[in-house]
Homo-oligomer: A and B are copies of this chain.
Amino acid sequence: MSQKDTFDRVFNPRSVALFGVASQDKTKFSYYPLRSMLQSEYKGNVYIVNPKASEVAGLKAYASVKDIPGEVDLAIITLPNSVVADILTDCAAKGVKGAVIITAGFKESEDESGGELQKKIADIASEAGMAIIGPNTFGMVHLHDNLNASFTPYMSTLRKGSISLLTQSGGITHFLAPWVFGQTNVGFSRIVGLGNRANVDFADMIEYLLHDLTTSVIGMYMEGIDNPRSLLEAGRKAVGVKPLVVFKAGQVETSRSAALSHTGSLGGRHELYKAAFTQAGIITVDSLTELLDVTKVLALQPPPRGNRIAIASPVAGPALVGTDICETSGLCVTRFTAETQERLNELIPPIVARTNPVDWAFTTEIIELLLKDENVDILLLSYSFTDALIFPSTGIVEAAKTYGKPVVMSIRAPEGAWQKEIDELGSNGIPIYPMPDRAARAAVALTKYGDILREMGGI
């Protein structure tokens, strides 16, 4: 069975067996993975393995996975580290394809035996062709399959979409994931906590997700990398297929050694990683917010055909802030064609800026002029609410469609104000940010992705 076939079974399992569920006691940690599975509208079979119970939560409990009558594709394990190897041996015998091992106490442990234990379970799994997600993970979620193999029931309620997240920290995952609730038209496909990466690493998941139709962009939170070569190789394979975005922690020695005790990761020199990522066509970001902002723009918009940006706003400040970021990031704040400039001078009063950036974006005609201009590849717009201002949302949507160029926006309004306009833009795939600098950084990343495609032969 190829790794792809194995992963297909692990992420779209026909059935799931849970190990470590003894009761429906909410104060017990093992309560939560079963709750996740039962609340997720998962369509396959859910089995309980527990030799000490005959039934849990109305489900029959089996003494061993081998006693389960039907096939089992995925095991979810929360039992102590000492018994995990035996469980995996049973799972291998049963033909289980993979395991989510939530249990901690492996390579990340101070105790040397943890590393040995991890090697042991990795060997058992690899020999049997099983994929391990973890150990020491919050689990994983495949929203399009209603699969919530994690200890967090509410993960099932996240909006479905095309961003897949690969992370090395449950804590960070739980900071990143609730973000979708505030978004228009953005959601997740898979969220995978790789934990200690016993035999499934970032590179394996990237290669698999490159062929996943529900994933259009892959975002990553990374602490350390055991096999940088395979990651960079996966990055190069992704060029022209899907964008990869990474935020890497572990910049300083203290956090690198903390990462070692977190997921057993050896971090290397931060700058070296960043340079290597860039060479492999992987987009790097500098904050968790930017990781989300950039995956969003890449999920919604095609990259521009060049780096020439037009910047406009009904008021100067937000356009200035955008200009700073675009220019210092290597984008060209373009000069309009003579024809465009002439018409702008007719339409816009001389008391405001009429060259790029343009401080007067009140009408559809101005938006059309900017997008139509052959010197413009991408448009950055900012509108902040004032009671007197109406902005041409319909014109923006129509012009973006007509000229096929990406538009990135910042909009800020009090709750309830401009809701119709925001919904119209959002449902037409225009990425919207609450601050002009965040929108500008997203536009920069989208443009850089276009550069990657052109430089590395993706298009």
Q: Give A residues with C-beta under 8 Å from B.
A: 29, 31-32, 35, 104-105, 108-111, 114, 138, 151-154, 157, 167-175, 178, 181, 221, 223, 249-255, 258-259, 261-263, 287-289, 313-321, 323-324, 327-328, 333, 350-353, 356-357, 359, 382, 384-388, 410, 412-415, 417, 434-438
CB atoms of B35 and A316 under 8 A apart:
no
Measured CA separation A104–B315 after assembly (Å): 12
Closest to A352 in B: B261
CB atoms of A353 and B288 under 8 A apart:
no
CB atoms of A315 and B110 under 8 A apart:
no
Which of chain B's residues have a CB closer than 8 A to the CB of A357?
254-255, 258
CB atoms of B386 and A104 under 8 A apart:
no
Which of chain B's residues have a CB closer than 8 A to the CB of A359?
258, 261-262
Q: Give 13 A-B contacts (CB < 8 Å), ordered by A residue.
A: A35-B387, A104-B351, A110-B350, A167-B317, A171-B317, A171-B318, A173-B384, A223-B320, A251-B327, A252-B324, A255-B321, A262-B316, A287-B435
Neighbour of A412 across the interface among B108, B170, B175, B320, CB < 8 A: B175
Measured CA separation A297–B258 after assembly (Å): 27
Copies in the complex: 2
CB atoms of A327 and B254 under 8 A apart:
yes
- The smallest beta-carbon distance between A385 and chain B, in angstroms, is 6
Which of chain B's residues have a CB closer than 8 A to the CB of A174?
315, 384-386, 412
CB atoms of B169 and A315 under 8 A apart:
yes
Do A258 and B412 contact each other (CB < 8 Å), given the known contacts A170-B315, A384-B174, A437-B289? no
Closest to A315 in B: B171
Measured CA separation A415–B111 after assembly (Å): 39
Measured CA separation A111–B35 after assembly (Å): 69
Measured CA separation A357–B262 after assembly (Å): 11
Which of chain B's residues have a CB closer than 8 A to the CB of A252?
323-324, 327-328
Measured CA separation A159–B220 after assembly (Å): 37
Measured CA separation A228–B321 after assembly (Å): 21
Measured CA separation A412–B179 after assembly (Å): 9
Do A258 and B316 contact each other (CB < 8 Å), given the known contacts A104-B351, A111-B350, A249-B321? yes
CB atoms of A29 and B388 under 8 A apart:
yes
CB atoms of A350 and B258 under 8 A apart:
no
